[in-house]
């Protein structure tokens, strides 16, 4: 026994001595934006940190990659511009120790394709220009102009176009970018943001007089925080705040925003932007704490990175201040908190997916196919792959394969194009069958009721069924003759089982619509449908309507009984039950170009139901028309009050439950 225990202890010691398993994992997550579902989803890394020599700076505040591949970093604290090679080693320093080439707190820079370096020399209130050899060439001071007499010339960022015109961002200026030509002459302001008009400002204009308005603070535009230039000459302005609206603008020579002030994903606290030669847009967003990659229309593609104020971990940003992209699509980011420059390189997966997206963006779908295949081999859950391959098959006229991939990607626009072609082919091959089906449906609609009436005249139902059958026929009658129909209901007592049958029918139609509406009109994953939640949102408003309508109309001396309100509200569901089925069928037949048919039927259904509820309220409670409208408005307000009260009660009940549950856990833990 002692030997067995000794061997057991020895085995345990050996087991504990074994090294633990290690996992190589990046310190941040990467996500991709699925525009078809409007959500961010996690994906494997697109970019990963790359090793550099780790050059140290005092306060790097801006960064740009030159056409020669070198990285230029403006160091505000050191008063220098450092030039790095592709390994991150410092190979040149720009800025003299004394004389006209001495820099003071530079905050921005721009490198021309020829290699000239323009520096926003904020401390000296000028633009300093250096040659390719790093020697001082000239300076641009504040231009002489009556428009600039009260303007403080403190440049922070700038770009220079092919003509040598400088677009300069001044410190806290809301007037836009200051334009100066290569002779140093003032050309005006460019690309100012629009002032944000709020509801409060609108109300002030309506209420206050001119003297009072003059004392109010003017609504000023948000100042531009940074500026970039792409190879096509478009100027990109970055503006922090605004929760992404107009955060990035793509301005042409006339100052027109090609992005039309769109709301940008991850665009609340943008620090800087960069554009590569393929047109992809990159930015750093301090609010989200990550780098986001967009296409040329500023539609979000990927996001990665992590900001930590106390970071000492490689690849984690402290306080990013500038971003640049080199010819190999490496991302460079200056970080003033840790005094260094981060470099991120594409992973194999990232290289394939970016190449696929670049070719896809250019419309070269066939050329993108091998890249999409490699992306799919590494990640068969990335919806961009399905969208890309779907476009490839669509371009090759392989419509059925395209439908499968585009449906998986929830790309309704492309799916509609492929489906239109599939439908056209089917109609061309089965025209006679389609014509026969339409003829049969028309015949059934026209002669079906007559055949049914003829059948029941020949084979009449028992006398005991006459009343229930009449009540069921009223369900159809009340839809087309609401006043006469609801008067009949007021004088009749409809059996409970018929009311229940109508409600079951409405719920069944709702379930059918959730699962069998065409993909183009219901682009969801069927397995993700919350059946009971959706039914609750369908049933609860109807139930609350009955309660609120009865309570309000009773107070207003309405004559309707609670039973009459229930059966009238049930019969008002007739348009929903009768029109939903053909609408669901049509949603599986029409394309997005013809969706007006389905949308019109849906609108007609709910308008018809609304009219029937108004007529029901008027007839059941014996109100005139205007009184019915007023009481329905009060009913809607009462419904909102009931829901608010229920929400408060639910919240308090949950808090009470949670209190006793936590108390129980503490008692059992101590015990």
In sequence order, which residues have a C-beta less than 8 Å from that of residue 490 and are 6 or more positions away? 560, 564, 568, 619, 620
Residue pair 586/597 in contact by the 8 Å Cβ criterion: yes
Pairwise pLDDT comparison (516 vs 3), residue with the higher score: 516
Q: Which of 12-16, 155-159, 505-509 has the lowest mean pLDDT?
A: 12-16
Q: At what angle do helices 412-429 and 383-395 cross, to 10 degrees?
A: 40
Q: What is the pLDDT of residue 370?
A: 92
Q: What is the pLDDT of residue 599?
A: 93
Q: What's phi and psi for 136, nearest 5 deg?
A: -65, 135
pLDDT confidence bin for 55, thresholds 50/70/90? confident
In sequence order, which residues have a C-beta less than 8 Å from that of residue 62 and are 6 or more positions away? 73, 74, 106, 107, 108, 109, 120, 157, 272, 321, 322, 334
Q: Which of 108-122, 300-314, 359-373 has the lowest mean pLDDT?
A: 300-314
Q: What is the pLDDT of residue 10?
A: 57
Average pLDDT for residues 622-646, to the nearest whole number? 89
Rg of the chain over CA atoms, in angstroms? 35
Query: Exposed, middle or buried: residue 82 (CB in 10 Å: 0-12, 13-18, 19+)?
Result: buried
Q: What is the pLDDT of residue 201?
A: 66
Pairwise pLDDT comparison (360 vs 448), residue with the higher score: 360
Q: Which range scores top for mean pLDDT: 312-321, 344-353, 482-491?
A: 344-353
pLDDT confidence bin for 624, thresholds 50/70/90? confident
Segment (H or E) for 158: strand 155-160
Q: Which of 33-37, 85-89, 199-203, 300-304 has the lowest mean pLDDT?
A: 199-203
Residue pair 9/16 in contact by the 8 Å Cβ criterion: no
Residue pair 248/264 in contact by the 8 Å Cβ criterion: yes
Q: What is the pLDDT of residue 245?
A: 85
- What pLDDT digit, counting tens, does each position of 413-451 carry? 999 999 999 999 888 888 888 888 888 888 887 877 778
Q: Which of 204-218, 325-339, 360-374, 467-481 has the lowest mean pLDDT?
A: 204-218
pLDDT, averaged across the chain = 87
pLDDT confidence bin for 661, thresholds 50/70/90? confident
- What pLDDT digit, counting tens, does each position of 154-204 carry? 999 999 999 999 999 998 788 899 999 999 999 999 988 887 766 666 666
- What pLDDT digit, counting tens, does each position of 220-251 carry? 788 899 999 999 999 999 998 777 888 999 99
Structure tokens at 425: 């082919």
What pTM did the predictor assign?
Answer: 0.79
Torsion of CA 520, 521, 523, 528, to 10 degrees: -150
Does residue 28 have a pLDDT over 60?
yes
């Amino acid at each position: 026994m002692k030997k067995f225990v000794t061997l057991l202890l020895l085995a345990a010691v050996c087991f504990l001595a074994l090294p633990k398993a290690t996992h190589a994992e990046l310190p941040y997550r990467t996500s991709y934006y699925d525009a078809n579902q409007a959500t961010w989803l996690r994906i494997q890394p697109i970019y990963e940190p790359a090793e550099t020599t780790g050059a140290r700076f005092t306060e790097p505040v801006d960064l740009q990659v030159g056409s020669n591949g070198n990285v230029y970093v403006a160091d505000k604290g050191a008063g220098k511009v450092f030039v790095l090679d592709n390994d991150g080693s410092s190979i040149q320093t720009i800025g003299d120790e004394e004389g006209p080439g001495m820099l003071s707190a530079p905050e921005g820079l721009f490198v021309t394709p020829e290699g000239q370096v323009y520096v926003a020399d904020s401390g000296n209130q000028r633009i300093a220009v250096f040659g390719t050899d790093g020697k001082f060439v000239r300076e641009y001071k504040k231009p002489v102009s009556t428009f600039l007499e009260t303007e403080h010339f403190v440049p922070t960022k700038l770009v220079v176009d092919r003509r040598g015109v400088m677009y300069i961002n001044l410190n806290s200026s809301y007037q836009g970018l200051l334009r100066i030509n290569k002779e140093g002459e003032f050309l005006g302001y460019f690309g100012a943001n629009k002032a944000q008009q709020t509801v409060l400002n609108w109300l002030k204009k309506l209420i206050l007089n001119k003297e009072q308005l003059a004392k109010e603070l003017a609504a000023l535009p948000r100042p531009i925080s940074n500026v970039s230039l792409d190879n096509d000459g478009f100027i990109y302005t970055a503006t922090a705040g605004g929760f992404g609206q107009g955060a990035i603008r793509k301005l042409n020579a006339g100052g027109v925003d090609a992005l039309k002030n769109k709301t940008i994903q991850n665009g609340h606290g943008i620090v800087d932007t960069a554009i590569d030669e393929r047109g992809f847009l990159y930015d750093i967003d301090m609010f989200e704490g990550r780098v986001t990659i967009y296409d040329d229309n500023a539609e979000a593609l990927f996001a990665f990175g992590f900001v930590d104020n106390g970071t000492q971990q490689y690849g984690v940003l402290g306080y990013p201040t500038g971003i640049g992209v080199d010819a190999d699509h490496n991302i460079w980011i200056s970080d003033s908190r840790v005094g260094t420059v981060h470099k991120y390189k594409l992973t194999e997966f990232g290289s394939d997916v970016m190449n696929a997206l670049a070719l896809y963006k250019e419309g070269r779908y066939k050329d993108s196919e091998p890249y999409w295949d490699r992306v799919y081999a590494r990640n068969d859950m990335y919806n961009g792959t399905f969208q890309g391959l779907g476009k490839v098959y669509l371009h090759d006229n392989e419509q059925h394969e395209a439908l499968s991939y585009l449906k998986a990607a929830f790309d309704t626009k492309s799916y509609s194009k492929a489906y239109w072609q599939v439908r056209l082919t089917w109609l061309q091959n089965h025209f006679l069958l389609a014509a026969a089906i339409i003829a049969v449906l028309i015949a059934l609609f026209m002669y079906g009721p007559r055949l049914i009436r003829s059948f029941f005249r020949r084979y009449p139902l028992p006398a005991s069924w006459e009343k229930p059958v009449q009540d069921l026929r009223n369900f159809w009658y009340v839809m087309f003759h609401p006043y006469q129909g609801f008067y009949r209901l007021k004088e009749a007592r409809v059996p409970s089982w018929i009311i229940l049958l109508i409600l079951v029918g409405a719920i069944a139609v709702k379930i059918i619509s959730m699962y069998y509406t065409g993909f183009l009109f219901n682009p969801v994953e069927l397995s993700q449908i919350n059946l009971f939640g959706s039914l609750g949102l369908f049933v609860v408003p109807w139930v609350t309507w009955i309660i609120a309508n009865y309570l309000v109309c009773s107070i207003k001396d309405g004559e309707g009984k609670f039973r009459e309100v229930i059966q009238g509200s049930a019969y008002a569901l007739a348009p929903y039950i009768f029109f939903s089925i053909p609408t669901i069928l049509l949603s599986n037949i029409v394309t997005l170009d013809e969706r007006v048919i389905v949308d019109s039927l849906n609108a007609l259904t709910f308008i018809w139901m609304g009219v029937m509820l108004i007529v029901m309220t008027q007839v059941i409670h014996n109100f005139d028309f205007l009184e019915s409208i007023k009481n329905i408005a009060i009913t809607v307000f009462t419904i909102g009050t009931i829901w608010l009260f229920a929400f408060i009660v639910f919240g308090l009940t949950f808090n009470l439950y949670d209190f006793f549950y936590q108390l129980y856990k503490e008692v059992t833990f101590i015990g």
